[in-house]
């Protein structure tokens, strides 16, 4: 295989996670080790940065800044949910790549992002432009196919489980068999995040919160819900519920969704918690119901991040560069769990075509027969992912996060009309 000499471009897409920047740090750290890589560029705001030829020089950033990425939430390069809609968009991407001699493209994102990377690579092949495209997994939803888990998931469930324990202390103080506390978490089509809240339960403590977990994988029944709550309140001072935003009824319809959709055609979710609150108020007189909605705080909570998660995110970024240097393309880095009794992980590769727009559901056999709690198989899967604490430096009592110096790369083409 001939050596491919050229420049790297890395971008970030979709909703950020607490560890997406650790993957970026892994890409930069590994790219500096290879002589065939001449320049390392970052695309500002994902594919929008490519269309607008808006790049920064990542090799010009200080080593301290690159190190700080490993504990910095958000997407340091900026992100987007822009969808390449027309052939002209894809042609522009290749035009920009050719102008800047981009030969290695790394894209950190979820399902839709990997679909975009796959299409860009296919067009490059049609035009006989040698380009190696590697996807880096990123989604707190943990729903990408072909990988055991996704960077970002361990940190979000560590934060959610921590929040459950904290709320439980408050609820225990306030409840007199008359309080329903509802925590709404993210999860459009899969219940991985809501399920992760089960880690808040201590072993051999069946009365610990959360008492009920409602998942998109289990069709929701309002009658069963009311009965579930009544059953819990007969034995507990309060009933704590965790619900995924993508909760659906027996017909597969979201119990709460706005008419608006995003650029990828996905329904705008949010409101499942309020829906459950309304059921309590309508059917259980005298019972107080409260709703907490974490929203984007759950994907930005680096202060409760998992060290295991951050380390694996960094590893995924390194593995992407190593794979490209070896000649791999059209693949996404995956995380593969070892067979040993103690937790180990290594990286693998899966075709982008298998990842794009696919959804990995929570296995039904990991959900107990009651449909509202998780069994030991899930705990065994998820527990290793939250281990360790990300070392976040503090200054004047507050965390210190990385911020790039915007060392802009000179534009070589004319402006593009989006």
The confidence score (pLDDT) of residue 406 equals 81
Angle between the 87-99 and 111-126 helix axes, to the nearest 10 degrees? 70
Give phi and psi for 197, each to the nearest 5.
-65, -20
273 is in an annotated binding site: no
- Summarize pLDDT for 85-112 with one digit per residue, the tens: 899 999 999 999 999 999 999 999 988 8
Give pLDDT, residue 256: 74
Per-residue confidence (pLDDT) for residue 269, from 0 to 100: 54
- Predicted local confidence at residue 412, as pLDDT: 96
| Angular region, 270: left φ>0, alpha ψ -120 to 50, beta rest | left
Confidence grade of residue 341 (pLDDT, cut at 50, 70, 90): confident
**Mean pLDDT (the chain, rounded):** 93
Residue 264 has pLDDT above 70, yes or no: no
Cα–Cα separations (whole angstroms), residue 335 to 26, 338, 343, 399: 15, 10, 12, 29
Question: Rounded distance, CA 165 to CA 168, Å?
Answer: 5
Query: To which CATH superfamily is domain 153-185+187-294 assigned?
Result: Phosphofructokinase domain (3.40.50.460)
187 annotated among ligand-binding-site residues: yes
Place of tokens 């939430």: 73
Q: What's the pLDDT score for residue 203?
A: 82
Two domains, one topology: 6-140+303-356+388-399 and 153-185+187-294: yes
Asked if residue 15 belongs to a known ligand binding site, the reply is: yes
pLDDT for position 168: 97
The domain made up of 6-140+303-356+388-399 has a fold known as: Rossmann fold (3.40.50)
pLDDT band at 53 (very low <50, low <70, confident <90, very high): very high
The domain limits of the chain are 6-140+303-356+388-399, 153-185+187-294
Q: Pull the structure tokens for residue 122.
A: 């296919």
Handedness of CA 361, 362, 368, 370 (dihedral sign): negative
Q: Is 38 annotated as a binding residue?
A: no
Q: What are phi and psi of 7, to 5 degrees?
A: -105, 155
Residues in the chain: 418
pLDDT of 204 reads: 80
Average pLDDT over residues 48-77: 96
Query: What does the pLDDT look like over 158-211, one tens digit per residue?
Result: 999 999 999 999 999 999 999 999 999 998 788 999 999 999 999 888 899 999
- Separation of alpha carbons 244 and 186, rounded Å: 6
What band does 260 get if pLDDT is binned at 50, 70 and 90? very low
pTM, full prediction: 0.94
Among 91-105, 256-270, 366-380, the least confident range: 256-270
Q: Could you give the CA distance from residue 59 to residue 42 in angstroms, rounded to a whole number?
A: 9
So what's the pLDDT on residue 166?
A: 97
- Provide the annotated active-site residues: 141
Residue 299 has pLDDT above 90, yes or no: yes
pLDDT band at 74 (very low <50, low <70, confident <90, very high): very high
Three-point CA angle 353, 357, 363, nearest 5°: 105
Question: In which band, very low, low, confident or very high, does the pLDDT at 328 lie, cut at 50, 70 and 90?
Answer: very high
374 annotated as belonging to a binding site for a ligand: no
- Provide the pLDDT confidence category of residue 270 given band limits of 50, 70 and 90: low
> Mean of the pLDDT values across residues 367-390?
97
Higher-confidence position of 399 and 340: 399
């Amino acid at each position: 295989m001939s050596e491919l000499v050229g420049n790297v471009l890395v971008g970030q897409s979709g909703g950020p996670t607490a560890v997406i920047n650790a993957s970026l740090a892994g890409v930069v750290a590994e790219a500096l080790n290879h002589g065939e890589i001449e320049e390392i560029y970052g695309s500002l705001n994902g594919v929008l940065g490519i269309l607008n030829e808006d790049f920064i020089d990542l090799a010009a950033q200080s080593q301290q800044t690159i190190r700080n990425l490993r504990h910095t939430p958000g997407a340091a390069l900026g992100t987007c949910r822009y969808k390449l809609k027309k052939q002209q968009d894809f042609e522009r991407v290749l035009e920009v790549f050719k102008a800047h001699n981009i030969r290695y493209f790394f894209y950190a994102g979820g399902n839709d992002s990997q679909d975009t990377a796959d299409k860009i690579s296919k067009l490059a092949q049609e035009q006989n432009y040698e380009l190696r495209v590697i996807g880096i997994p990123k989604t707190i939803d943990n729903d990408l196919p072909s990988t055991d888990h996704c960077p970002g998931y361990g940190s979000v469930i560590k934060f959610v489980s921590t929040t459950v324990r904290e709320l439980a202390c408050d609820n225990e103080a306030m409840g007199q068999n008359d309080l329903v506390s509802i925590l709404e978490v993210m999860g459009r089509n899969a219940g991985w995040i809501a399920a992760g809240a089960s880690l808040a339960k201590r072993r051999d403590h069946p009365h610990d919160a959360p008492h009920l977990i409602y998942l998109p994988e289990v069709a929701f029944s309002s009658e069963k819900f009311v009965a579930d709550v009544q059953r819990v309140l007969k034995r507990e001072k309060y009933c704590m519920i965790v619900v995924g935003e993508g909760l659906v009824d027996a017909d597969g319809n979201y119990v709460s969704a706005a008419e608006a959709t995003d650029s990828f055609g996905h329904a705008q979710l949010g409101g499942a918690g309020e829906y459950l609150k309304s059921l309590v108020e309508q059917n259980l007189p005298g019972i107080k119901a409260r709703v907490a909605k974490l929203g984007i705080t759950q994907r930005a909570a680096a202060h409760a991040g998992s060290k295991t998660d951050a380390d694996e995110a960094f590893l995924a970024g390194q593995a992407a560069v190593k794979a490209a240097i070896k000649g791999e393309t059209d693949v996404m880095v995956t995380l593969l769990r070892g067979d040993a009794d103690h937790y180990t992980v290594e990286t693998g590769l899966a075709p982008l075509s298998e990842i794009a727009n696919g959804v990995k559901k929570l296995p039904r056999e990991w959900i107990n027969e009651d449909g509202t709690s998780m069994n030991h198989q899930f705990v065994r899967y998820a527990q290793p992912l939250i281990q360790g604490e990300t070392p976040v430096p503090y200054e004047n009592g507050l965390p210190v996060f990385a911020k790039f110096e915007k060392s802009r790369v000179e534009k070589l083409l004319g402006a593009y009309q989006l």
